[in-house]
Chain A
């Protein structure tokens, strides 16, 4: 690694830390419904939306109503994306005359975009029309991210309201997230990306003759706008199949840096928003630092492995599967960010990384996408782990556990452990089935531990709503499309539903005041404990299978054995 590599990583983390309080406090104002920077611009428009849609924005919802609204809203999104794909050949904005998408692929894609996963079984440029991309996918990129924010807002209200029963208004939360946060940020980022040369056009693909005389089709499209939100909303579904490795999605080092920063921008800032809204800024930073420590640890392991002598290639630098434009550091940094944040966009092929860096990527996902995580989703996932941490460690100070003054009791624990259990079950059970049946194995391009990692990665990515692929696995088969789809559903709503049940239960409780006898969630010990619980409870389950995948592969690589 060169000095410039360190400098760049340093700048990345520095900017992340700098942006967090600015964006975070802005978002806190937005979500509390207070007057903010953009109120003069959007305030009237917001009211108009409520009037047209008949939403009483002052109405408070109990958790069941909130959850019901969320589910209906998401199901509606799913249905629209599904129908748009199934009938795209009859619909406008399809200059390439792409045929209707088969059901299993439409199903997979519709779920993928509803759940903020953006798993790409489809290849954007050869499967989906501009209409589907814009009206279906881009819209979902906004609303699925907003859904994540809505859930965390409900939890914040639950923890801050004393003896309450309502947790906010879902529709207001969605409208505000999109109007004041996602949309303005996307517009800024689109302009930045277009300035770097990312394409944004409705023209049909170009057919050109290359220098050595062959014909080549150059895919185009309204890419920049979708890329902006796919990065910001931790969606990750690229306009083009190879995602941000494609020059039209990510042409320059500057665009690469902006896109990388956008991955973690909102999830990181939300920790500050959280601190601000619960009236404890320090706690926001505590959560931020737990996430950052996990992130940097993974990144360090990954970089070390990628810059190590590789007996297979005989080089000290592993360039396989990476864009020469970006090099190792930028590719590894992106891979760490995209897997930590459940984004899932890629600028290199994770399949080609060293087994150890591959393991870091997959482990980031397996931990439940809580290292910054998806927009909103990362934080509510982290809250689940905080609840478990507080429960175990809180007992050790001799009080029944409490978090932010609210007692953590049986129902809360039941839901928290369910939220950890369901995604883990998806990963383990589905992978275990796939590695022994022909439908699962026939999609593999590799054997041995590498093949195992590929399958494991696919189901982890689905359950964690990450959406990145390890590659090397042909997942566009009815078997994988349907089962990965189910995996994404469980991974998303298997956490959202328990989280909202917790919100409904927590909001009813009284808030115990802080005293010297209170377990402090603002200390260094708490950060250590939280990380310990995330790794032991969230990760220990996967040790055996990781041993058979990347661990043994790494050990074998030393003897130059590859798969």
Chain B
């Protein structure tokens, strides 16, 4: 598994892909495939017509034009093939890892070996070190390290365990240590990996809403220009003195004019742009489950970002404990330690570490039989233990101050007056206070420090310039949240946020017309992920989260959301820029072809140059070379722009007006000027080699 597709993907186009793409360019000449792209289909019909015309009127000029037209079609096909080719190569590698596996199915506790393809959702299987996980599932028992390089390309193993937010396992990945029991959730052939293969292969690629709209616009323009060209012979016949029209306005000439006017550049590159957009995301290790999601990503103007992992490093560290009510600091240290024993989070571990180092507390004196652990839940927002000691039960808890206060008042205890002030004091410094209690008494506070990631403030500044509002989501109390929000430079924050709050906030933003993006991992994120316009599920997350999101981040890096937005914007920009370029090109093409076609009209007797030669501002050598140059330019420009279509146009984080001004200048004004130069150069060249 060394050579995963991810790594291969990072290479530039290989000769294999190139070879296959050339082959595919011809395969795609199949009319059934061509018709999906109306602009290029019209070019192909034109090419067929000129080919037929060759049989009646074979001239070198007609042959060159015919070749030029066929190459236009082939170049467009090639653009699409090469964009698909990269995906196909990746899919091939993925398929190799998808070979037949034997599943160890548990039936009433008994193990039986069956073919993985026979598994149904709800089946229970067991996997031990060395086994390949047969289908997507949820770990219901045990903990194991799993090698997921088949999908992520990352060779470092990841931990998968029951409960919590890291319970989802993917079919096709390999268990490398320990034993886990898995409940299968996907049907054979519909697993994450199958979807992944179909996605990267582009087999199930559907046109995205904006792509459909653009295709309609391009088809409409094509019809308009078809009308302009189809009516031309009639106007020409009216204008010419004799019946000479058939001599000058031949099928190849008319088809050339049409092909040059219709938006072939964008028509030929449109699907390549879409495919490569998805491809660029894959390169960033994000799988978009639909092209629509990438487009929507460009539109996001509100991002919900979890504080932990995105804005802060995520590992809050306990730095101090503060006794209240005259509690002995040793006792507070012990209770803090005890309350954190079941807490496997980095914070929990940092508390144990702190108490051990500073106050010399030792957890090993506790007998498991005497303890009932209370795990942390999002609802109670507390964790701790009930510890039987000397016949009495010590109820030790730690948690957010509201949660403990509520708990204490239910238990009938009293909240010390100084608590509130201390909590606010800690929180206002951007740190998190945890309150420790035993029974009805509040013992003191643990101070947790949160570290804001470097460079994140600049990132949010960029987002603001792009018109994107960032909202930090945190379970912290409002004061802590405000302090971190200020430090990180987010626009807004939601403190003490419960999953329902997230959902409500997303709905509220959407009702105001915003498009909301979020990234999440836990089961409790699933509703919010599903509600958001772009929901990115982390690959380490639960199956529920993965199902609910419309993108999956294989690296499970929460900062990805920002990159996804950029990719979406880049995709849309590339589409717009090439459309503008394509349409702007028409001006020059008119000046090349119209004087050539109309050269003889109203000419003085015996002369070949009528008054309309005045329009030949490029001073192209002859009518024939002018038309041929325009056709060649039109074909070559597609090839020249393939790299741009695949890479996307240059993206900078700045406001819409600045982006627009630059793109208009490059692709609009440039689009008007470039063909004048290009056509003139081609005309000089073909006349210098005297092929016509």
Contact = CB atoms under 8 A, between A and B. Distances in A.
Interface stretch (A165-173, A182-190, A425-433, A488-496): A425-433
A314 interface: no
Interface string B231-267: 1101111110000000000000000010001000000
A545 B298 contact: no
Interface in B619-672: 651, 655-657, 659-661, 663-664, 667-668
A246 interface: no
B648 to A, nearest CB: 10
Contact of B235 (A405, A417, A548, A556): A548
B506 to A, nearest CB: 14
B655 to A, nearest CB: 4
Given A396-B580, A396-B663, A545-B235, A410 B213 contact: yes
Contacts of B466: 516-517
B572 A399 contact: yes
A400 B299 contact: yes
B322 interface: no
B656 A517 contact: yes
B468 interface: yes
A191 interface: no
Nearest to B515: A512
B563 to A, nearest CB: 14
A148 to B, nearest CB: 24
A449 B239 CA distance: 7
A38 interface: no
Given A417-B221, A516-B464, A396 B573 contact: yes
B465 A516 contact: yes
A51 B601 CA distance: 66
Contact of B239 (A417, A428, A452): A452
Nearest to A388: B217
A523 B660 CA distance: 11
A511 interface: yes
Interface in A375-422: 388, 391-401, 405, 408-410, 412-414, 417-418, 420-421
Interface stretch (A65-73, A92-100, A535-543): A535-543
A515 interface: yes
Contacts of A408: 213
B659 A529 contact: no
B575 A395 contact: yes
Q: Which of B214, B216, B301 has the most CB of A within 10 A?
A: B216
A429 B227 contact: yes
Contacts of B238: 435-436, 451-452, 548
A395 B579 contact: yes
A506 to B, nearest CB: 13
A393 B576 contact: yes
A483 B468 CA distance: 54
Contact of A537 (B221, B465, B468): B221
B125 interface: no
B612 interface: yes
Given A540-B590, A544-B228, A517 B468 contact: yes
B294 to A, nearest CB: 11
A519 interface: yes
B580 A409 contact: no
A516 B461 CA distance: 12
A196 interface: no
B375 interface: no
B473 to A, nearest CB: 20
A513 B467 CA distance: 10
A401 B657 CA distance: 14
Interface in A528-563: 528-529, 532, 536-537, 540-545, 547-548, 551-552, 555-556, 559, 561
Contact of A396 (B301, B584, B660): B660
A559 to B, nearest CB: 7
A90 to B, nearest CB: 44
A515 B210 contact: no
A399 B216 CA distance: 18
Interface in A212-265: none
A520 interface: yes
Contacts of B514: 512-513
B528 interface: no
Given A398-B298, A398-B570, A536-B583, A429 B231 contact: yes
A400 B572 contact: yes
Contacts of A548: 235-236, 238-239, 598, 601
A335 interface: no
A435 B234 contact: yes
Nearest to B212: A410
B210 A432 contact: no
Contacts of B569: 398-399
A394 B468 CA distance: 17
A523 B220 contact: no
Nearest to A410: B213
Contacts of A413: 213-214, 216-217, 220
A545 B664 contact: no
B224 interface: yes
B464 A405 contact: no
A397 B232 CA distance: 37
Interface in B341-398: none
A529 B236 contact: no
Interface of A: 162, 388, 391-401, 405, 408-410, 412-414, 417-418, 420-421, 424-425, 428-429, 431-433, 435-436, 448-449, 451-452, 510-513, 515-520, 523, 525, 528-529, 532, 536-537, 540-545, 547-548, 551-552, 555-556, 559, 561
15 contacts: A394-B576, A395-B572, A396-B659, A396-B660, A413-B217, A420-B224, A431-B235, A448-B239, A451-B238, A513-B513, A532-B668, A544-B590, A545-B231, A548-B239, A552-B239
Interface of B: 209-210, 212-214, 216-217, 220-221, 223-225, 227-232, 234-239, 257, 261, 295-296, 298-299, 301, 464-469, 510-515, 568-570, 572-573, 575-577, 579-580, 583-584, 586-587, 590, 594, 598, 601-602, 610-612, 614-615, 651, 655-657, 659-661, 663-664, 667-668
> 10 closest Cβ contacts across the A-B interface?
A395-B576, A517-B467, A398-B569, A417-B220, A515-B467, A516-B467, A432-B231, A396-B576, A555-B611, A432-B234
Given A410-B213, A556-B602, 4 more contacts: A398-B570, A518-B467, A543-B594, A552-B602
